[in-house]
Amino acid sequence: MRKSFAAVMLAATVAGATVVGVGAAQATTNGSGLGATLQSDADALQRYGAPGVLVELDTPRGDIRVRSGHGNVARRTPIAWDAKFRIGSYTKPFVAATVLQLAGERKLSLDDKVERFLPGLIRSNGNDGRKITVRQLLQHTSGLPEYTNAMTAMGTEEGFQESRLRTWTNAELVGLATRFPADFAPGTRWSYSNTGYVVASMIIEKVTGHTWQQEVRDRIVRPLGLRDTYLPGTTPTIPRPHAVGYQRFPGLGATPEDPRYGEPIDATLLNPSLAGPAGEMISTADDANTFLRALVTGKVLKRAQLAEMQRTVATDDNLRARWPGARYGLGIVWADNSCGGYWSHGGDIPGFMTRNGVTPNGSRSVTVSINTDSLKPDPGVRMPKADITTDLVDHALCNAR
């Protein structure tokens, strides 16, 4: 889920994977080539405030895994190689793929209006389900405002502590969103909206008679053998092993450019219903890569539905600044890189940041997990305009091995 609450080494070969150690502060890297490059990239992320970093690159010639920093800062232990982590908005491609499967089965059309399935749900402040299509929900062109705009208290440590274990229903999240005027008329602009995916999940449930979690599990997670991927619902814990998820909160005089973050707290325990179908899932780097490759190689969707997913529209200046050339499909982003471009969908949720990428032919994929989504750079270090993992993902996908 895109973060909006704050706006308020020694190398070894194991099972075919080149494994590089835990970072410059803990060991020295004697690896060479791409593994050494990725290790250097991972180490560099610590200067931006990443407590720990876990990276896995899958290639036809085997996997490369590197890690840096700490999964538990107090104990000075690294992130486990098989760590589970909250994937935030990387949940969205799972939800979009489920909707697209239903479209392929003719149980719905992407051009159906929300009102067909959820009559009367969206009918206030210029938000109108009679005018919003399923496609627009998945594409972020619905004009639905962000429900997180009503969760400003979560941007403070006190508010977060008070609300972190609260259970939210999807209907409640939609109700929060429709307190606000529509951002624009459906189909006339693009603006990232977690609310659209909440509504899409409700359509899944209406069409199938099952929870969206059950449909994602039965249609995607189990068929692909994603044994370490979870749809936790309201369960606040993360299966072990996992890193501590750290969260910082804005201080006095905070601005978007300088949030003046205080000291981090342990935000690992969290009821993920506040993110729901927009970002509740938990996975591992290995499973996350498996899904990315399966998605773009047609193992999840039939050709027609994959083509719909990869039909992109222009985004906005903010997204293009972080991911140059970014265009949005249905639950997936196309971005430029030094070897032509790649598909991706990252995710932020309190305590965790996920970044990833896969080549168009699915031959290489990379997943990066960082155990915070509130980055505070070292003194004198300026945050780049582009996403901090841009170089790492580019090196992973474009450098030969």
Task: List the one residue out of 22, 85, 87 whose CA is nearest residue 243.
Answer: 85
* Cα separations in angstroms, 271 against 5, 216, 320, 359: 15, 19, 31, 34
Task: Please give the Cα distance from 352 to 87 (Å, whole number).
Answer: 7
Taking only the tens place, the pLDDT of each residue in 17-52 is 444 444 433 333 334 599 999 999 999 999 999 999
Taking only the tens place, the pLDDT of each residue in 205-234 is 999 999 999 999 999 999 999 999 999 999
Taking only the tens place, the pLDDT of each residue in 262-308 is 999 999 999 999 999 999 999 999 999 999 999 999 999 999 999 99
Taking only the tens place, the pLDDT of each residue in 141-171 is 999 999 999 999 999 999 999 999 999 999 9
Secondary structure of residue 124 in the 3-state scheme: strand
- Phi and psi based region of residue 140 (left: phi greater than 0; alpha: psi -120 to 50; beta: remaining): left
Taking only the tens place, the pLDDT of each residue in 46-92 is 999 999 999 999 999 999 999 999 999 999 999 999 999 999 999 99
Work out the mean pLDDT of the chain and round it to a whole number: 92
Q: Is residue 340 pLDDT above 70, yes or no? A: yes
CB 90 within 8 A of CB 356: yes
pLDDT of residue 357: 98
pLDDT of residue 258: 86
CB 137 within 8 A of CB 190: no
User: Which regions of 282-335 does DSSP assign to beta strands (E)?
Assistant: 282-283, 313-314, 327-328, 333-335
Which of the residues are catalytic? 89
pLDDT of residue 185: 98
Work out whether strand 85-86 and strand 127-128 pair parallel, antiparallel, or are unpaired. Answer: unpaired
Secondary structure of residue 193 in the 3-state scheme: coil
Task: Please give the Cα distance from 172 to 384 (Å, whole number).
Answer: 36
pLDDT of residue 20: 44
Taking only the tens place, the pLDDT of each residue in 249-260 is 999 888 888 899
Compute the average pLDDT of residues 171-179. 98
pLDDT of residue 364: 98
pLDDT of residue 220: 98
Residues forming beta bridges with residue 59, ordered by sequence position: 62
Compute the average pLDDT of residues 106-131. 98
